[in-house]
């Protein structure tokens, strides 16, 4: 069977159409960004990482938004709550920061950064007694490894020792008088 010239041309075009020339796919040396996954979640960056970078750059409002996105994608956990509390602290929202950080410490009582951040909030509010207690707990949970927590504890204890009493009112001394027995003496007395 012999094909006519028109039939041969149609057959050649049909065979050429079957060749895989790449179609709409992107070549490797294309200057354009590669296509992303259908839902985009496999390629997305962790919201906590973005928030931490924004906090380091001083962009606290944007960091807070990144942390809230992380909460939406990962769920509420102690890391996210601690980060949100830190952002609120940097924005000067002390009451919001305190509430969120207290919730974080309730969620995980063994997470030192949440306790440390709560102590910073309490220091900012002038509650030095509770702040020193919170810093002691953070220091103990961290086993003294973090110099930031240690410095915060020192500052809280120094602020706690700066009592507003005059010399006349501060003339007493606590003296140990046996196992478990203490006596309050005036500084004019000697033990």
pLDDT per residue of the chain (191 residues) written in tens, 0 to 9: 676 778 777 766 766 666 665 556 666 676 766 665 554 445 567 889 999 999 999 999 999 999 999 999 989 999 999 999 999 999 999 999 999 999 999 999 999 999 999 999 999 999 999 999 999 999 999 998 988 999 999 999 998 887 555 555 556 676 667 666 666 676 764 44
- What CATH topology corresponds to 45-165? 1.25.40
pTM for this prediction? 0.63
Domain residue spans of the chain: 45-165
Quick check: 62 and 91 in contact, CB under 8 A?
no
CA distance 188 to 191: 10
DSSP state for residue 77 in the 8-state scheme: -
> Which residues, 6+ apart, have CB-to-CB distance to 63 below 8 Å?
50, 51, 52, 54, 55, 83, 87, 90
């Amino acid at each position: 069977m012999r094909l006519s010239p028109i039939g041969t041309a149609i057959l050649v075009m049909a065979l050429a159409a079957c060749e895989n020339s790449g179609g709409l796919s992107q070549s490797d040396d294309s200057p354009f960004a590669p296509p992303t996954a259908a839902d985009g979640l496999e390629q997305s960056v962790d919201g906590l990482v973005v928030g931490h970078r924004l906090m380091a750059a001083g962009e606290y409002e944007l960091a807070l938004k990144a942390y809230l996105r992380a909460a939406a994608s990962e769920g509420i956990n102690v890391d996210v709550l601690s980060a949100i509390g830190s952002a609120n602290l940097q924005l000067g929202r002390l009451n919001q920061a305190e509430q969120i950080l207290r919730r974080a410490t309730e969620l995980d009582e063994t997470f030192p950064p949440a306790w440390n951040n709560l102590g910073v909030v309490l220091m900012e509010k002038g509650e030095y007694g509770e702040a020193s207690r919170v810093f002691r707990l953070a220091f103990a949970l961290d086993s003294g490894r973090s110099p930031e927590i240690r410095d915060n504890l020192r500052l809280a204890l120094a602020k706690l020792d700066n009592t507003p009493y005059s010399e006349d009112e501060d003339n007493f001394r606590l003296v140990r008088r046996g196992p478990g027995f203490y006596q309050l003496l005036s500084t004019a007395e000697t033990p």
